[in-house]
Each structure stands twice: as structure tokens, then as C-alpha cells.
């Protein structure tokens, strides 16, 4: 048994925010209450810390099978545990693509052997994510996928999207789309605007994303099926989502920590600022923060996209898109959103827990009988992130050596502490 004492329990499902103890017996929560005692239990003193439901990441790339130089299920999930994540959904653009039950089973088995956290695979929508024929979605569902996506690229056509949505709706799976009009994308490397002109880099207009979101919303209207927009980055996209929800369509969306933190003004000739969708304008970033605060956005997802140093250490134009993100997600949420009073702490917890759970159609709460997946964190512990200390095989992050206020402290999966105080290496002494 594990007794988590003196913590500030924050549970968005029941709107609980109170000093409570949590007693865990085996894989489940046995009791939640004041002054709990259990003589045989191991004690975790959570005084001064928040005890939240386990964080769920709807969007990451673990690179296994096939790209193990950049990441493996083991190294990626160790980084996830350090970031406070108890479950991660991995995108299917591996090699081979996760478009069949045998690949899904391989990921599930590897995760069972090597991962400290839950790994929930996402299956490809089309075979090889080529945008032609439907992948074997029902067989993959039986093997363990929780959603469907051709991430890395959009579902190729409205017609294919219709088929995928109708099929997935009958199976109860959400369809996640990486929204991008590829004709407008046209080899761009950052957001089109005055900063791309200043840097002399080929731009990607904001409408590249919103045109595709608009298409998808229309197909969701046609089918009545569930649609989830991945890594949404523009105000135009958000407006489509807002309008569709007002009409009662089942549309959800996620935003990454880098898109609520950075803008195209931050981009420099450093491939750690190259991601897809690209960093957006300040107006877009501010609109996303508003959407996170007012409930229009359902989840914060990392889009953890590790790339081996050799592949990122090239000219900006030639570098692959993407940055790592597990270990800095919570700290960015606290530093950029909660501490500056743009978002309540409860809302941040919701965006990392019940929000993503709801997208997957599951529940997360801190209550008797529930699975004991918990994330324990500090809202104000000061620490410095060092990519070189990460268990991830990759180092591609613009947040290396950034000092944060707030850090994950312990990650509990199925009643077991899988990670404790590792991410929070103390900040260097500041000279006053
Ligand atoms: Zn994507
Ligand atoms: Zn992705």
C-alpha cells in the first residue's frame, strides 16, 4: 500500500481542490480522505505538492519500430514519466507504419516489457498513411489502438476522411487529423509573415491549417462522427472549432506547449525552432491561450517528436520538423499560463488529465475504486531543464537550459511510483 499524505488533491472531474490523503492499495485508489492512516503503507509526503489524476498525452512520437536512433519506446516513455505523464498515445508514423494489428501488437508488447507508463497506440487511417485505402482499423482496435490518424500528414482527401470517420464512428474511435493543405504548404519551413521575410525562409501561410480544419469540420457535419484536431496553432482553426461545437458537432482539439509559449518572432536559424505546424503569430498564440482558458480547447498535447542530433544539426531548410516535449510540458503550462494568471491551476490540470481522457472517451478521477494513476507536482519549485540529462535519445528542444517555476515530482502508474523527483534538477544559485 502507498499512502500519499498532506497533498493538495486537485480533481477536475469532481472539482475537488482540497488538502486530502490518498491511500492506494495495489493498482487502485482505496480511500481519499482527511488524516488517513495505514500502518503498513509506504508513506509519500506530498506536503506543498499537488496530487492530480495521471497526465495523459494524446500526441507523441516514440519512433519504434524503425527509427530507434532517435527514440525507443523505452527511452521515450522514461522521458514521459519524468514529465509526469502516466499514459501516452503514440502516432503511427513509424517504420513500418502502424497500419496493421501485427505492428500494433508489437508496440503493445514492447511497451509492456519496457515502458514505465501506459502506451496507447494510435493506428494509421490509411495503409502506409498513403491516403489511398483504409488501414485494417477494426483489427488494430482489437490489438489496442485508441484512435486513428495519418499524423505527419493530413487524411488525404475529404472522401477518404468521410470513409475513415464513418468507419471509426461505428468502432467508437476518434479520428485525429494533422490539418495541412499540402498545396499551400509547398515546401515552407516557418510561418509566412514578416519574420519569414526577415529570415529569408520560405513561409507557410496560416490558412494552410485552417483550410483543412474547415474541410474536416464539414466532413464531421456530413458524418456526425467524432473529429479531433491535432496540434492546432491558429486563430482561424480555433474559430472553426468553436462554431462547430456551438452547432453540437463532436469536434475536439489539442494545443502544444510550444504553440502557447513561442511565436514566429522567436524563430532563429536553429532547427530546434522548426516544427510543423510552425510557430504562429502573436495574435494566434494569444487566441490559443484564450481558447485554453475558456474551454474551447480540450487538451494540451506535447507532439514529442524526437530527432537524432545528426539529422537536426543541419541547415534550417533541410532539418526535419519537430521538437521533444515530455519533460517541459507541465513546467511551460505553469510558467506561461498559470503563474501569469492566464489560466487557473485547475484548468491546467484539466487540460492534462480529464480533457485528453474525454477525447478518448474515458474517465479519469481521484476517487475510491479508480485506477491509481497519479501525477504529483510542485507549482513553484525552481529548476533548470537540461536536455543532456534527458532519458530521451534526442536533444531537439528550444527549451534546453531554460529555468522554470514548477515541476513534476512523482509519477504513479497503477499504484506504483515509477518516477520520483528526477526532472527537478535544482536551478543554479542565483546571485542577488
Ligand atoms: Zn502532426
Ligand atoms: Zn505529430
pLDDT in tens, 292-318: 999 999 999 999 999 999 898 899 999
pLDDT band at 422 (very low <50, low <70, confident <90, very high): low
Per-residue model confidence (pLDDT) at position 324: 98
Q: Cα–Cα distances in Å, from 317 out to 132, 155, 396, 400? A: 29, 25, 16, 22
Q: How far is the CA of 68 from the centre of ligand 1 (A)?
A: 19
Residues flanking ion ligand 1, Cβ below 5 Å: 151, 178
- Written out in words, the top-level CATH class of the domain with range 55-360 is alpha beta
CA distance 426 to 260: 25
Read off φ and ψ for residue 118, nearest 5 degrees: -75, 140
CA distance 16 to 102: 42
Q: How far is the CA of 213 from the centre of ligand 1 (A)?
A: 13
CA distance 268 to 387: 19
| Contact present, 118 and 88 (Cβ < 8 Å) | yes
Q: Does this model's pTM top 0.75?
A: yes
Nearest listed ligand to the Cα of residue 59? 2
Q: How far apart are the first and last CA of the chain?
A: 45
Helix/strand/coil percentages in the chain, nearest 5? 35, 25, 40
Q: How far is the CA of 360 from the centre of ligand 2 (A)?
A: 17
Nearest listed ligand to the Cα of residue 306? 2
Domain ranges of the chain: 2-51+368-420, 55-360
pLDDT band at 374 (very low <50, low <70, confident <90, very high): very high
CA distance 41 to 195: 57
CA angle 127, 129, 131 (to 5 degrees): 85
Nearest listed ligand to the Cα of residue 302? 2
pLDDT band at 194 (very low <50, low <70, confident <90, very high): very high
Specify the CATH number of the domain 2-51+368-420: 2.30.40.10
Q: How far is the CA of 321 from the centre of ligand 1 (A)?
A: 9
pLDDT in tens, 109-124: 999 999 999 999 999 9
Q: How far is the CA of 125 from the centre of ligand 2 (A)?
A: 14
pLDDT band at 97 (very low <50, low <70, confident <90, very high): very high
pLDDT in tens, 225-276: 999 999 999 999 999 999 999 999 999 999 999 999 999 999 999 999 999 9
Read off φ and ψ for residue 263, nearest 5 degrees: -135, 175
Amino acid at each position: 500500500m502507498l499512502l500519499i499524505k498532506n497533498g493538495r488533491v486537485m480533481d477536475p472531474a469532481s472539482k475537488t481542490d482540497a488538502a486530502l490523503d490518498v491511500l492506494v492499495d495495489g493498482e487502485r485508489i482505496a480511500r481519499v480522505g482527511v488524516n488517513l492512516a495505514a500502518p503498513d503503507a509506504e508513506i509519500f509526503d506530498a506536503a506543498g505538492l499537488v496530487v492530480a489524476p495521471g497526465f495523459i498525452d494524446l500526441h507523441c512520437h516514440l519512433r519504434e519500430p524503425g527509427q530507434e536512433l532517435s527514440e525507443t519506446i523505452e527511452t521515450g516513455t522514461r522521458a514521459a514519466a519524468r514529465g509526469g505523464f502516466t499514459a501516452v498515445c503514440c502516432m503511427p508514423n513509424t517504420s513500418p507504419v502502424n497500419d496493421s494489428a501485427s505492428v500494433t501488437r508489437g508496440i503493445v508488447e514492447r511497451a509492456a516489457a519496457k515502458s514505465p507508463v501506459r502506451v496507447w497506440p494510435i493506428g494509421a487511417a490509411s495503409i502506409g498513411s498513403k491516403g489511398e485505402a483504409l488501414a485494417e482499423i477494426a483489427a488494430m482496435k482489437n490489438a489496442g489502438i485508441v484512435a486513428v490518424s495519418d499524423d505527419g500528414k493530413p487524411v488525404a482527401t475529404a472522401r477518404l476522411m468521410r470513409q475513415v470517420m464513418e468507419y471509426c464512428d461505428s468502432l467508437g474511435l476518434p479520428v485525429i487529423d494533422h490539418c495541412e493543405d499540402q498545396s499551400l504548404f509547398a515546401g515552407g519551413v516557418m510561418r509566412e509573415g514578416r519574420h519569414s521575410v526577415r529570415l529569408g525562409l520560405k513561409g507557410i501561410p496560416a490558412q494552410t491549417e485552417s483550410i483543412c480544419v474547415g474541410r474536416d469540420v464539414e466532413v464531421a457535419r456530413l458524418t456526425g462522427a467524432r473529429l479531433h484536431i491535432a496540434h492546432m496553432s491558429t486563430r482561424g482553426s480555433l474559430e472553426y472549432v468553436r462554431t462547430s461545437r456551438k452547432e453540437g458537432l463532436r469536434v475536439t482539439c489539442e494545443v502544444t506547449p510550444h504553440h502557447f509559449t513561442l511565436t514566429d518572432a522567436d524563430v532563429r536559424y536553429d532547427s530546434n525552432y522548426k516544427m510543423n505546424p510552425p510557430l504562429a503569430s502573436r495574435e494566434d498564440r494569444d487566441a490559443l491561450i484564450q481558447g485554453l482558458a475558456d474551454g474551447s480547447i480540450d487538451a494540451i498535447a506535447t507532439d514529442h517528436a524526437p530527432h537524432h542530433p545528426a539529422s537536426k544539426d543541419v541547415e534550417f531548410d533541410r532539418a526535419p520538423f519537430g521538437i521533444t516535449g515530455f519533460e517541459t510540458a507541465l513546467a511551460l503550462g505553469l510558467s506561461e499560463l498559470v503563474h501569469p494568471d492566464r489560466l487557473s491551476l485547475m484548468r491546467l490540470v484539466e487540460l492534462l488529465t480529464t480533457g485528453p481522457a474525454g477525447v478518448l472517451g474515458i474517465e479519469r478521477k481521484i476517487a475510491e475504486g479508480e485506477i491509481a494513476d497519479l501525477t504529483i507536482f510542485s507549482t513553484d519549485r525552481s529548476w533548470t531543464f537540461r536536455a543532456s540529462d534527458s532519458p530521451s535519445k534526442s536533444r531537439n528542444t528550444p527549451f534546453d537550459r531554460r529555468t522554470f517555476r514548477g515541476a513534476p515530482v512523482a509519477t504513479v502508474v497503477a499504484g506504483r511510483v515509477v518516477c520520483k523527483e528526477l526532472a527537478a534538477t535544482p536551478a543554479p544559485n542565483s546571485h542577488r
